[in-house]
Amino acid sequence: MSFNIAIDPVKAAAIAAEKAEANRRAAYIAEADPLFFKAQRGEATVQEWQDKVAEIKARYPKEQE
């Protein structure tokens, strides 16, 4: 048995955006936030933190970016 389910493109885009946002949030918490606090303590550079943020944005792009 086969099912043909029509997906509303607007809803699909909204779901994709929510998924990207959730993935980014998790990556920021796990990867970028620790670098930010290390930079605050002088154990890493601000540039390292900014590079990590850019890497996460590239890994989980939003449609409008």
Q: Distance of CA 59 to CAs 4, 30, 39, 45, 46, Å?
A: 31, 14, 22, 21, 20
- Domain interval for residue 35: 31-65
What pLDDT sits at residue 1? 62
Q: pLDDT 10s per residue in the chain (65 long)?
A: 677 777 888 888 888 889 999 999 999 999 999 999 999 999 999 999 999 999 999 999 987 65
| Pairwise CA distance, residues 50 & 4, whole Å | 44
CB 6 within 8 A of CB 19: no
What pLDDT sits at residue 65? 53
Q: Distance of CA 48 to CAs 21, 30, 33, 35, Å?
A: 22, 15, 11, 7
Tokens of 33: 């936030």
Q: Does 60 map to a domain?
A: yes
Tokens of 10: 């607007």
Q: Does 57 map to a domain?
A: yes
What pLDDT sits at residue 9? 85
Total domains present in the chain: 1
